[in-house]
Amino acid sequence: MRILSRLLGKVIKQGTLAITYADGVQERLGAPSPGWPDVAIRLTDKAVPRAIVSNPELGAGECFMDGRLVFDEGTIWHLIMLVTSQTALERGTALSEPSLIGRAGERLKHWYDNYNKRDRSKANVAHHYDLSDTLYDLFLDKDRQYSCAYFTDPETVSLEQAQLDKKAHIAAKLALKPGQSVLDIGCGWGGMALYLNRVADVDVLGVTLSEEQLKVARRRAQEAGVADRVKFELIDYRDVKGPFDRIVSVGMFEHVGARHYREFFRVCQNLLKPDGVLLLHTIGRLDGPSSTDAFTRKYIFPGGYAPALSEILQGSEPNKLLPTDIEVLRLHYYHTLRHWYQRCVDAKAQIVALYDERFYRMWTYYLAAAASGFLYGSQTIYQLQYVRNRQTLPITRDYMSEAEARYRALG
C-alpha cells in the first residue's frame, strides 16, 4: 500500500475512500457504513501524493484547485467531511504533554502569522472583500450578511431568516435606546448598521477598509433615506473619533491579529462613553492558541486568525473592559456554511463565468473546509458583551430575550 493510502487508512474506518493513482492502481480504504459517505478520487499525476503528504494543509487544496485531484464519486464536501469526522476534536485519545520544541515552534508561528500591521490591513481586506459583488450575491442572503447566522431550527429556518435572527440576537445584547450613537467596526455592506437604525432608532457610523463594501453601504443608506443617520467611512478603527454609546463588531476581530488585541480593546474602551456597551462577535477556537491553516492564510484570509477565548480575554482584561456576557454558538456557523456551499454549487456556471474553474474549486474547498472546522474541528463563534461600568446593564439576562422578541416581531 502506498504511503498516502497508509496514512489515510489510519484515519478512515467508516465510510470508504477509493484512490486511483496516476498509474492506474486503485486502493480502497475504510468500510461501507450506513450514514457515512463513499468517495472515489483520482490523482492525475505522480506528484500529487507527495504534495499532499508533505504538506497536507496546503497540498490537498492546491491539487484540487489545479484539477490534479478529481472526483469519480462524491464531492470535495464529502471528502473533507469523511476525513475530518474521524479526527474530530471530541475523538481525541489520551493526552500527553507537548514537547518544549513543539510548543516553542507553534508559539513562534502563531506570533509571526498574526502580526497584522496597519499597512498590511487594507491589502488583506481587499484580497477577500473587494471581490466581485456578483459573487457575494450568488451565495449570501439578500442583506449580504457574511458572518455566522443564528438558527433557531437548522432544519426548517431559511438562511435569510437565520441572518435576520442573528441581527436581532446581537441588537438585543446592545441594550439600545432611541437616539443613541453606535459604532459598527467592520461594517461590511452595511446590513447591521441599517438594521440597528431601523429597529432601534439609533444613529450608526460604520467603518470599513473595503472600498467595494463602502460603495454598497453608502448606496444602501441613500436608498433607505437614512444617510443622515447611518453613515459609512473608509477608515481604520484606530483612527475613529468618539465617544459612542455602543460599539458592535461582527466578523472583523478575526482580522485584527493576536498581537493587536490589547490595542483593539484599548481603542474600544476609549471610544465608549462611561455607560457604554461593546458587543464583539468573532470566530474563535475551542482548543487554545494556534495558527491559521496554510490554505486559508494563502488563498482566503491573509492576515486572518480566529482567537482562543483566552486570547480575547487577555486582550480585554488589561483595558478595564468588564465582560458581562459570553455566549458560545457552537454549530450555527456550520449550518451557515452548509447553505453557502450549496448555493455556490448551484451557481457553479455563474461563478466559473465570473472567474474560472480554478477559482470555483478554491471557493468550494474553502467553504467545505470551514464547515468541517465548525462541525468536527476547533472552530466556534464567541459573542462577548463588555461594559466600562458594571452598573450599566440589568443583572439578569431577561432584557435580552425581551428585546430580541421585540426586534424579531419587527422583521
- What residues does each domain of the chain span? 3-87, 118-410
User: What pLDDT score was predicted for residue 408?
Assistant: 97
Which one-letter amino acid corresponds to residue 380? Answer: T
User: What pLDDT score was predicted for residue 116?
Assistant: 58
User: What pLDDT score was predicted for residue 1?
Assistant: 80
User: Which CATH superfamily does the domain covering 118-410 fall into?
Assistant: Vaccinia Virus protein VP39 (3.40.50.150)
Tell me the C-alpha distance between 252 and 231, whole Å.
18
> Which residue blocks in 75-117 are alpha helix, DSSP H?
76-84, 100-113
User: What pLDDT score was predicted for residue 96?
Assistant: 59
**Set of cell numbers at residue 410:** 419587527
Structural Rg of the chain based on CA atoms? 22
Question: Beta 379-387 vs 322-329: how paired, if at all?
Answer: antiparallel
The dihedrals phi and psi of 321, each to the nearest 5 degrees, come to -95, 125
User: What pLDDT score was predicted for residue 303?
Assistant: 86
Q: How many CB atoms neighbour CB 52 within 10 A?
A: 24
Q: What angle do CA 251, 143, 368 make, to 5 degrees?
A: 55
Q: Among all chains, which residue has been given the C-alpha cell 490591513?
A: 121
Tell me the C-alpha distance between 32 and 76, whole Å.
19
Tell me the C-alpha distance between 119 and 125, whole Å.
11
Whole-structure pTM value: 0.92
* CATH for the stretch 3-87: 3.30.1050
CB-based contact 197:151 (threshold 8 Å): no
User: What pLDDT score was predicted for residue 131?
Assistant: 79
Mean pLDDT by 10 residues, the chain (411 residues): 94 96 97 92 97 94 97 97 90 59 53 56 55 92 97 97 98 98 97 98 97 96 98 97 97 95 98 98 95 93 93 96 97 98 98 96 97 97 98 97 97 88
CB-based contact 54:45 (threshold 8 Å): no
Q: Among all chains, which residue has been given the C-alpha cell 483595558?
A: 319
3 state SS of 17: strand
Tell me the C-alpha distance between 369 and 186, whole Å.
24
Tell me the C-alpha distance between 73 and 28, whole Å.
13
